[in-house]
Amino acid sequence: MNKKIIFSLGLSIAVICGANAQQHAHDWKCSTVKGRVAQMRNAAKPTIAHPDEDKYDVKYVKLDLEMNNTSTTITGNVTTTAQVVEPGLTSYVFEMLPPLVADSVFIDGVTHSVIVSGDTCTVPFVTPRSAGSMFTAQVFYHGTPVSGTPSDIHGISNLQSPSWRNWVTFTLSEPYSAKDWWPCKQSLTDKIDSADIWITVPDSLKVGSNGLLQAVTPMGGGRNRFEWKERYPIVYYLISVSIADYRDYSFYMRFTGSTDSMLVQNYVYDRPTILTFNKSIIDSTVQQLNLFSDLFGRYPFWKEKYGHAMAPLSGGMEHQTMTTLGFFQSWLVAHELGHQWFGDNVTCASWKDIVINEGFASYSEYLYLDKFRGRAAATADMVDRQANVMSQPGGVIYVDDTANEDRIFSNRISYDKGACAVHMLRHVVNNDSFFFNLLKGWQHAKRFGTGTIADLRDMAISMMTPEVNGIKFDTFFHQWFYAEGFPIYSVKWNQVGTDVYMKIDQTTTVPGSVRYFSMPLDVQVSSASGDSTVRFVVDKPSQSFHFIWKKPMLGLTLDPNNWLVDSVQNIMRDMTMGINELEMEMIGVAPNPASASWDVAGLPSGSTLILTDIAGRVIWQQQSASGTVSVPAQSLSSGLYLLRVNTLQGAGRSFKLVRE
Ligand SMILES: [Zn+2]
């Protein structure tokens, strides 16, 4: 038997006795956390190259480019339609990285000159533009950007698949590399309302991209133009193209419990055996789409498609509606698919908040494993991540240096600690319907937009229900997202008769950041005839607990289901515990002063209570049968009284009681 009950802090006592176990309301007290973290002194790289880019709001872009799979060479034009958001805008500023060269720029059809300074291109208007007005800029350009390498893929790459030998030209713009291949505004918070991506390639090739393929138009000279249309808002770095001699492996899927269907479109290398190797995993994308739609809300881009385009990268990139994927592995498919909700539908509003993307996509892997491979496989995944997090003492999820791409995409922090933090959030709320409602609420409230860690915390607070009443989300998010370190627990315990005494001491790996964590901690108590798991809220450096366990206790295990990023220094039985002071320490009286009764809690079983007045006359006495006893006060006159508690072991403690 393994029964889980919630133990509330303070004076109450959990009695583990099978069917009589009571569910207590979650009482998670705030701890005093020292060391307000680094967020105040962070080095932040602006997401845009020039502040003037924020003076317009991009409504639409159209890429009309000629490309191939033999080089990164691009020729073509990009049209941007935008609305002026500040009065008197004097120029259109966009980003484009040399060696790309702007050949000509048209504003509303009229040719304009362009001033190039590094990656910033400024096109002065003839007359300033008023706030609210629209303009359309068309930039004709060409060039051969430096290709990414297998170990450093960014911007645009022309590489050969090591396994299948196909040459592929593909883009990967996250976080700052859209400007490597198209003239753009690299702003996370200004999502592009809709886009068309037209790419002309030799007719032996196909082009995968965002949204729906509208047409493949013959252009003469052995060329075809792939015309993709994305009508959902999209952030600059998710616009992508992938060009190779693909085979289109497409089918329709049906959403569970609905007649709605959706295209699942996969561009796999045109090799005879490729589907033999990958078909079952590609096909299982449907089950994953339904799983995540069930958990997070309907797949956000369901009126278009989902799918994959193969490219030689050592993982995947969650390009909106069509992930660019190096290889088909179910966990990787799950990660990139999870991103369609966390990253694509709701994008991190700043690179400091990358966990909004990567923590949840990594947790999607866990959810996939839990559903389709079983709890043991999911737990093994989580334990691996926890071990990776704890391979070093510190590391803050909230990114302190967004100029450093390795820091933004730190596997240990943004991915693994991110997934662990999401898992611990689920543990802390201890209520899956609340947890998944929070995720669904997040997806709905922030749909096609952006969000931060602080936004998520505030949403959790605002969605608080009676079931999770009292949870200090601000403390939780502070400790795990904005601060660093993890708790190290040491436990001493003893059993005296049916009374179990437990003292949990806590240190942390970075005490300057978090002196002690405030977390619910599961404790599995074991005996020869079965185990039970009890949840304690541990929110002090040192805490004593007392509960009744009727079986002879063999030992205990902390966090038996591996919810926490924590380490256990030692667990030992201390035969001296529970005899004297400790059990006395556990006793508490409330309210005091009282008018109806005083509740005395934390009593070792068999304790005797004697109430005397100030003159020493015995007014009332009782031998306690359970952990809590009510001492009647109603019939007493107001004044001071003395309560003496004597245990069977001979210890005693007195309390001054005040009758109002
Ligand atoms: Zn990811």
Closest C-alpha to 492, from 581, 604, 575 = 575
Interval 2-44: pLDDT, tens: 222 222 222 223 333 222 222 222 222 222 222 223 333 345 6
In the numeric block, the tokens 């491979």 are attached to: 373
CB 210 within 8 A of CB 239: yes
Compute φ and ψ for 143, nearest 5 degrees. 155, 175
254, pLDDT greater than 70: yes
For residue 500, how far is its CA from the centre of ligand 1 (angstroms)? Answer: 46
For 447, the 3-state DSSP assignment is coil
Give the distance (Å) from ligand 1 centre to CA of residue 57. 27
Residue 340 Cα to ligand 1 middle (Å):
10
Q: Are 501 and 577 in contact (CB under 8 A)?
A: yes
What residues contact 227, with CB distance under 8 A and at least 6 apart? Answer: 196, 197, 198, 213, 214, 215, 216, 217
pLDDT surpasses 70 at 295: yes
How far, in Å, is the centroid of ligand 1 from the Cα of 132?
A: 36
Residue 288 near residue 368, CB atoms below 8 Å:
yes
153-176: per-residue pLDDT in tens? 999 999 999 999 999 999 999 999
Spacing, Cα 415 to ligand 1 middle (Å): 8
Residue 251 pLDDT > 70: yes
The rounded Å distance from CA 422 to ligand 1 centre is: 15
CA of 336 to the centre of ligand 1 (A): 6
Q: For residue 363, which phi and psi values (nearest 5 degrees)?
A: -70, -25
Ligand 1 centroid, distance to 321 Cα (angstroms): 14
* Predicted local distance difference test score (pLDDT) of residue 156: 98
Q: How far is CA 474 from CA 149, 425, 454, 471, 537, in A?
A: 42, 12, 9, 9, 16
Peptide bond between residue 87 and the one before it cis (omega within 30 degrees of 0): no
Distance between CA atoms of 345 and 235, rounded to whole angstroms? 9
Neighbours of 164 (CB within 10 A): 18
Q: Given CA atoms 210, 214, 220, 223 in this order, what sign does their dihedral have?
A: positive
Question: Is pLDDT above 50 for 197?
Answer: yes
- What's the CA gap between 644 and 657, in Å, rounded? 10
| Identity of the amino acid at 559 | D
What distance in angstroms lies between residue 408's CA and the mean position of ligand 1's atoms? Answer: 11
Q: Residue range 594-608: average pLDDT? A: 89
**Cα torsion angle, 408, 413, 433, 287, sign:** positive
Tally Cβ neighbours within 10 Å of residue 573. Answer: 14
Distance 655 CA to ligand 1 centre (A): 58
Q: pLDDT tens-digit profile of 412-470?
A: 999 999 999 999 999 999 999 999 999 999 999 999 999 999 999 999 999 998 888 88
Whether the link from the prior residue into 632 is cis, omega within 30° of 0, is no
The answer for 180, left when phi > 0, alpha when psi is -120 to 50, beta otherwise, is alpha
- The residue among 219, 51, 33 whose CA lies nearest residue 120 is 51
Given a contact cutoff of 8 angstroms between Cβ atoms, the answer to whether 231 and 201 are in contact is no
Distance 362 CA to ligand 1 centre (A): 7
Share of the chain above pLDDT 90, in %: 84
Burial (CB count within 10 angstroms: exposed 0-12, middle 13-18, buried 19+), residue 444: middle
Measure the CA–CA gap between 96 and 119, rounded to whole angstroms: 5
- Cα-to-centroid distance, 332 and ligand 1 (Å): 9
Calculate how far, in angstroms, residue 318's C-alpha sits from the geometric centre of ligand 1. Answer: 7
* Distance in Å, CA 631 to ligand 1 centroid: 59
Token pair recorded at residue 655: 């309390």
pLDDT, mean over the chain = 91
Q: pLDDT tens digits, residue range 331-361? A: 999 999 999 999 999 999 999 999 999 999 9
Distance 512 CA to ligand 1 centre (A): 31
CA of 423 to the centre of ligand 1 (A): 17
487 C-alpha to ligand 1 centroid (Å): 27
Asked whether 547 and 16 are in contact (CB, 8 A), the reply is yes
Residue 336 belongs to what H/E stretch? helix 330-341
The Cβ of residue 397 has, within 10 Å, a number of other Cβ atoms equal to 24
Bigger pLDDT: 551 vs 496: 551
Is residue 94 within 8 Å of 184, Cβ to Cβ? yes
Task: Write the pLDDT tens digit of every residue in 261-276.
Answer: 999 999 999 998 999 9
pLDDT at position 35 is 28
Distance 358 CA to ligand 1 centre (A): 5
Over residues 614-659, the pLDDT tens digits come to 888 999 999 875 688 999 999 999 999 999 988 776 777 889 999 9
- State the chain's maximal CA–CA distance in angstroms: 111
Task: Pick left, alpha or beta for residue 430 (phi over 0 → left; psi -120 to 50 → alpha; otherwise beta).
Answer: left
The pTM score is 0.84
Cα(323) to ligand 1 centroid in Å equals: 11
pLDDT, position 293? 98
CA 557 to ligand 1 center in whole angstroms: 34
| d(CA 15, ligand 1 centre) in Å | 44
Tell me the DSSP string of 53-112: GGGEEEEEEEEEEE--SS---EEEEEEEEEEE-STTEEEEEEE--TT-EEEEEEETTEEE
Could you give the angle at the alpha carbon of 569 between the alpha carbons of 563 and 574, nearest 5°? 110
Report whether 60 contacts 193 (CB < 8 A). yes
CA dihedral 483, 486, 492, 493 (to 10 degrees): 90
Distance 343 CA to ligand 1 centre (A): 8
pLDDT in tens, 495-517: 988 989 999 999 999 999 999 99
Distance 239 CA to ligand 1 centre (A): 16
pLDDT tens digit string along 426-436?
999 999 999 99
Question: How many angstroms does the Cα of residue 413 sit away from the middle of ligand 1?
Answer: 13
Q: Which residue, among 626, 535, 542, 455, has the nearest Cα to 28 in the 3D structure? A: 535
